[in-house]
Amino acid sequence: MAHDHNHDHHHHEGEHSELSETALRVKALESLLVEKGYVDPAALDELIETYETRVGPRNGAQVVAKAWSDAGFMEKLRTDATNAIADMGFIGRQGEHMVAAINTEDTHNMVVCTLCSCYPWPVLGLPPVWYKAPPYRSRAVSDPRGVLAEFGVQLPENVGVKVWDSTAEVRYLVVPQRPEGTEGWSEDRLATLVTRNSMIGTGLALTPDEVTS
């Protein structure tokens, strides 16, 4: 299991405090706007859900689809993910130093941030709530197969699980295995098979049947 604790603790403690203060300010502003009738809570929840699960992860899905279709790009992603992703126009804060964790027949990769919630925003959008929750951050390391099972992922015993610990300096994008039965598919069509969870490692890419059913 790959597990790197090279976090800068001082950075994370400051970042965590800053984020907590910001979150409080946002919550106070949100409450005020809702109270005044300027914001519909349901619409706000829908907006967050859109950027968390739909709009944001589309960038990562395009990266994965290109890797599945283009062996040269896959190799560049393997050796220099930061520039490979930047070449597609997906750059920005919290995506400056990227590493691609590529799933194989005998290795499944999963990403966690054990000290806070470092997350590759340029390719995955907003982090899901469970990614930031202490139970996931601790159990992803101590019991990765148990966590995967709770997400509905059952891996064969001969498939090893590597857990990558994101830091303030390095963030990871899991490249899931390409599903069978997708030969000849365009990149756009392949991207429909790539889910946010499959790029965190708590899921697998969808099968063609799951998309068409």
Active site includes 113?
yes
Selecting among 116, 138, 142, 186, the annotated active-site residue is 116
State yes or no: pLDDT of 10 exceeds 60: no
Choose, from 17, 20, 69, 113, the residue flagged as catalytic: 113
Judge whether 116 counts as a catalytic residue. yes
Domains of the chain (ranges, CATH numbers): 9-212 (3.90.330.10)
Catalytic site residue from 20, 118, 142, 198 = 118
User: For position 47, what pLDDT does the model report?
Assistant: 58
The 10s digit of each residue's pLDDT in 110-162 is 999 998 889 988 899 888 889 999 999 999 999 999 999 999 999 999 999 99
The strand pair at 160-165 and 107-112 is best described as parallel
Of the residues 17, 69, 117, 186, which is catalytic? 117
pLDDT of the residue at 13:
37
Overall average pLDDT of the 191-199 stretch: 97
Long-range contacts of residues 203-211, Cβ cutoff 8 Å, at least 24 apart: 203/151, 203/152, 203/153, 203/176, 204/153, 204/176, 204/177, 205/64, 205/176, 205/177, 205/178, 205/179, 206/179, 207/179, 207/180, 207/181, 208/179, 208/181, 208/182
pLDDT (tens digit per residue) in 59-112:
999 999 999 999 999 999 999 999 999 999 887 666 579 999 999 999 999 999
Cα-Cα-Cα-Cα torsion 103, 104, 105, 107, nearest 10 degrees, comes to -60
Q: Is 17 a catalytic residue?
A: no
**CB count in 10 Å sphere of residue 38:** 8
Query: pLDDT tens across 26-67, in order?
Result: 566 667 666 777 767 776 666 566 555 555 699 999 999 999
Q: Which 8-state DSSP code applies to residue 55?
A: I
- Give the confidence band of 172 by pLDDT, cuts at 50, 70, 90: very high
Give Cα 102 distance to the centre of its chain.
13
69 part of the active site: no
Tell me what pLDDT residue 19 has: 46
